[in-house]
Amino acid sequence: MIMPIRQFQAQRMHAPRDFQAISNEPICVEIGAGKGKHALLFSGQNPNKKLIAVERTREKFLAMQKQHGIEGQSNFQPVHADALPWVVHALFPAQIEQFFILYPNPEPHNPAQRWLNMPFFEFLISRLQAGGSITLASNIPEYIEEAQKQLIDVWKLPFVKEVIPATSARTHFEIKYLERGELCQQLIITKPENYTTRFDDFQPLHGVNQKNATEVKAD
């Protein structure tokens, strides 16, 4: 299944600063984890699952790291990095059990940077196990509607849309939006068996520099 969208140039991604490789084992990943409220809650409630929480903003990452130091979950790892290059350099094909993308920047002035509009989304799918899921949450109905359309028209992925209950408190944003009475929704996206992407054989770059990375080709 080749997607009708230009191909993401994974081999051109520079490794994040202070990049550290991870082992090829089933894990969950939260992208844009903020101060880590959901990540710490999830890892505490799911001791048999390993979660890596990626946050780009230094202040938020440090807050997450500090709270993790207090709570001490052994199955949780915070990472300070931009998510796109980290995913390319760190993750193996079909490795991830669950991705969480909770209340991402809606990019009102740059729709091409919304998650399901980016060529990178195909690479993200390639890292997901068959039967694995991506949870995408937003308080913006138009964002969810657009993502739904992309799932149907472009990515051909099954999903379930859910209204997030008013009692939910997974992230600081979620608490704020629900207290204001806003409609918060999420899409639970599932990767079917035999779903293919153009990156299924693309191995992680593990921090190689760009000169060497350009020699790595995806099918």
pLDDT tens column, 10-68? 999 999 989 999 999 999 999 999 999 999 999 999 999 999 999 999 999 999 999 99
pLDDT at 212: 41
Residue 112 lies in a domain: yes
Let me know how long the chain is: 219
Q: Is 103 left (phi over 0), alpha (psi -120 to 50) or beta?
A: left
Kindly indicate the confidence band of residue 5, based on its pLDDT and cuts at 50, 70 and 90.
Answer: confident
Residue 6 lies in a domain: no
**pLDDT at residue 124 is higher than 60:** yes
- Please, is 208 exposed, middle or buried when counting C-beta atoms within 10 Å of its C-beta (0-12, 13-18, 19+)? middle
Angle at 206 (CA atoms; ends 77, 124), nearest 5 degrees: 70
Residue 159 lies in a domain: yes
Residue 44 lies in a domain: no
Domains in the chain, number? 1
Residue 88 lies in a domain: yes
**What is the mean pLDDT of the segment spanning 147-158?**
97
Quote the CA–CA distance of 172 and 25 in Å, as a whole number.
Answer: 30
Range(s) of the domain holding residue 90: 82-213
- Please, is 168 exposed, middle or buried when counting C-beta atoms within 10 Å of its C-beta (0-12, 13-18, 19+)? middle
Beta strand 128-138 pairing with 159-163: unpaired
Residue 102 lies in a domain: yes
- The answer to whether 79 touches 8, Cβ cutoff 8 Å, is no
Residue 41 lies in a domain: no
CATH number at residue 209: 3.40.50.150
Residue 186 lies in a domain: yes
- Cβ neighbors of 175 (< 8 A, separation 6 or more) are 169
Quote the CA–CA distance of 217 and 207 in Å, as a whole number.
Answer: 16
